[in-house]
Chain A
Amino acid sequence: MLAGLKQLPLVSKIIFVISLVILFAWVIPSMVHYFKSVQAQEEQATELQANFSKYGIASGNTKKFNKESFIQDVLNRVGKASVEPLGDKSYTLKLEVDKDKISDFNTFLETLSLRYLVKITSPIIFKERDKHIEVTMTIEEI
């Protein structure tokens, strides 16, 4: 094989060496990284799957945040809601929760990031308003 390589033209030899350098310096590390990433992805997926199962939500049903459908969904689950954009994919979320339905809000809170690709980035502020509680928080799209 080495004798065969020796007989190759200089340009072929150079190309062959470049190929080897690229293989060892780029391709093989990329392959190793890829297989590690696949493993990490599976671990993350398993962790998330456990949460989906815990709250009885079908996995893969996580939606991207959309203001209108989100408000409608919150209305069905908790009560009135309003969303004000703050820029940079952040929003102020205001909810009206019946005092005796605070458990519904808790359920909503627990499953929020499983149903929508959002995270809460501020403390939650509760204020009493007559017969309901006004809840304010900042959410941000993931």
Chain B
Amino acid sequence: MGNQQYVTITHYKEREFYFLNHAIQTHDGFIPKDMEQFHESEKDKFIERIRELQAQYPQSQVISLSLNLNQKVVHEIDNTKASGKIFTNNYVVQDKIDIGNIPTTLYFSPFALLYEEYKNKLDDKLTLLIGLFDRKLYIMFATKDKIHESWTIGTRGLTEKQVADRVYKSMKAYYKISYKFADHIEMLVTDESPKLLKVLREELSLNILLKQNTIHNLLHHMGGEPKRTSSSFIKSSLAKMGDESIMKNAEDTFVQGALSDNLGNLKLNDNYVDDNVSSSSKSLLGGAAVGSLFQNLLALIPLLFVLGMGAFFSMKNAELEKDISLKKEQSVAQTNNALLAMTTDDIFSAMGKNAELKEAVISNSKVEVKGVVWGIEPLRNSLNKIYNNGDFSIKPLENFMTEFSFKSKI
């Protein structure tokens, strides 16, 4: 009867050890068996044991967990990367699947596990979900309809107090980019460390609700129902390869040998972790979260630059236009004045000694002159020479003198 049961086989690698477990899935939950441990030098034996379990339980899923630090929850699927859908418009992505040649049919992200664990508690208020998996913090800010931000932080080599400090800093970092504090904080711890739990409770707020469970149990839970397996990296990867029947047939065990990636890439030696702790620290304080803010600030540079240039040229244009207008007006005024001077000179030259001015109105459109004349014809000739359409008239005065008047348009 045993081989008719649906079994979930779970494994993951932590430092130089592979941890293997399997559980019988029942209607009332799963029944885990004893955990097995293999040193990485016993990799072949480890793989052989998985195959043995698969042979023993034809209806089985082999489930593993990505402990990659370079994974992130995004809102659009990225077809160039390994990705899995957590829920509507929320996908977890990492550069590549790196299981090596170890049989695996379902491959989950800690973010998917976290969401599954707390999805029923999410509402419209912002909740900070923190998962501690293999001494790495997987953090995401979520509401019931969206995962707003996520990042990962390494904590290897840190004291419990420092881990608590990292969690606190992550809250501060998120506040810097969103100006929001989480209304509620949930934390899922997979390492069995009573001391860590105690410190987290002491160092952080009592509002942080802590829960402890093993990675194996979480993976068994994920593999327990087909619905839950939708939150899987491997699913989207297989779909790309044309295989969409993961859940239909337990024989579809996916052997990652086809992928060139080697399990060695996942080796969590001290240097690797130290590097990641360091880069995660950057990620927390100056990287992913602050990076987004930094990118936005960088984007302001071209905006400020074009605004500055626009303001500069507008100001210069206003100054130039004022100066041009002034020069133009001065130039026109000077030309008019020169014409007036020319007309005045003409009128006075024409009168010469033949007449004496009494009154004159001179503009650039007309002249009107009145005076006493002694030589009528010479004056008439002189004026008509300058203004041939002018109206020249004379009038005898009582004192035997003659008054002349001359009008003309120019």
Per-residue interface assignment for chain A, residues 80 to 113, with 1 indicating a CB less than 8 Å from any chain B CB and 0 otherwise: 0000000000000000000000110111011111
CB proximity to B under 8 Å, residues A35-75: 37-38, 40-41, 44-45, 47-48, 51, 62
CB proximity to A under 8 Å, residues B301-323: 302-303, 305-307, 309-310, 313-314, 316-317, 320-321, 323
Choose from B303, B321, B330 the contact partner of A22 (Cβ within 8 Å). Answer: B303
Cα(A101)–Cα(B37), bound, Å: 123
Determine the residue in chain A with the shortest Cβ distance to B338: A110
Cα(A16)–Cα(B304), bound, Å: 11
CB-based contact A37/B357 at 8 Å: no
Interface SS of chain A: helix, strand, loop or mixed? helix
CB-based contact A27/B357 at 8 Å: no
CB proximity to A under 8 Å, residues B250-273: none
Q: Which residues of A contact B320 (CB under 8 A)?
A: 34, 37-38, 40-41
CB-based contact A34/B361 at 8 Å: no
CB-based contact B337/A109 at 8 Å: yes
CB-based contact B314/A30 at 8 Å: yes
Per-residue interface assignment for chain A, residues 1 to 45, with 1 indicating a CB less than 8 Å from any chain B CB and 0 otherwise: 000000011011101101100110011001101100110110011
**Count of chain B residues near A, Cβ 8 A:** 48
Cα(A129)–Cα(B64), bound, Å: 117
Choose from B302, B314, B340 the contact partner of A109 (Cβ within 8 Å). Answer: B340
CB-based contact A51/B303 at 8 Å: no
Cα(A111)–Cα(B337), bound, Å: 8
Asked if B359 is at the interface (CB within 8 A of a chain A CB), the reply is: yes
CB-based contact A110/B341 at 8 Å: yes
CB-based contact A117/B326 at 8 Å: yes
Asked if A119 is at the interface (CB within 8 A of a chain B CB), the reply is: yes
Cα(A90)–Cα(B272), bound, Å: 86
Q: Which residues of B contact A12 (CB under 8 A)?
A: 295-296, 298-299
CB-based contact B345/A106 at 8 Å: yes
Q: Which residues of B contact A41 (CB under 8 A)?
A: 320, 323-324, 327
Known A41-B323, A109-B344: A22·B306 in contact at CB below 8 Å:
yes
CB-based contact B362/A126 at 8 Å: yes
Q: Which residues of A contact B317 (CB under 8 A)?
A: 30, 33-34, 37
Choose from B309, B338, B356 the contact partner of A128 (Cβ within 8 Å). Answer: B356
Asked if B348 is at the interface (CB within 8 A of a chain A CB), the reply is: yes
Interface SS of chain B: helix, strand, loop or mixed? helix
Determine the residue in chain A with the shortest Cβ distance to B307: A22
Asked if B329 is at the interface (CB within 8 A of a chain A CB), the reply is: yes
CB-based contact A123/B361 at 8 Å: yes
Asked if B213 is at the interface (CB within 8 A of a chain A CB), the reply is: no
The contact size tier of chain A is: 35 or more
Choose from B314, B333, B348 the contact partner of A102 (Cβ within 8 Å). Answer: B348
- The residue in A62, A105, A118, A126 that gathers the most chain B C-beta atoms within 10 A of its C-beta is A126
Q: Which residues of B contact A119 (CB under 8 A)?
A: 329-330, 332-333, 336-337
Known A37-B321, A120-B337, A123-B362: A8·B331 in contact at CB below 8 Å:
no
CB-based contact B361/A124 at 8 Å: yes
Asked if B45 is at the interface (CB within 8 A of a chain A CB), the reply is: no
CB proximity to B under 8 Å, residues A117-142: 117-120, 122-128, 133, 142
Determine the residue in chain B with the shortest Cβ distance to A24: B306
CB-based contact B310/A30 at 8 Å: yes
CB-based contact B337/A18 at 8 Å: no
Cα(A135)–Cα(B168), bound, Å: 90
Cα(A102)–Cα(B356), bound, Å: 13
Q: Which residues of A contact B344 (CB under 8 A)?
A: 102, 105-106, 109, 124, 126
Choose from B299, B348, B361 the contact partner of A11 (Cβ within 8 Å). Answer: B299
Cα(A118)–Cα(B356), bound, Å: 31
> How many whole Å from B22's CB to the nearest CB in chain A?
41
Chain A interface residues (CB < 8 Å from chain B): 8-9, 11-13, 15-16, 18-19, 22-23, 26-27, 30-31, 33-34, 37-38, 40-41, 44-45, 47-48, 51, 62, 102-103, 105-107, 109-114, 117-120, 122-128, 133, 142
**Subset of 20 A-B contacts with CB under 8 Å:** A9-B292, A12-B296, A15-B300, A22-B303, A22-B310, A30-B313, A30-B317, A37-B317, A40-B324, A44-B331, A48-B334, A51-B334, A119-B337, A123-B362, A124-B344, A125-B359, A126-B344, A126-B357, A126-B360, A128-B359
The 4 closest A-B pairs by CB, nearest first: A119-B333, A123-B363, A12-B299, A30-B313
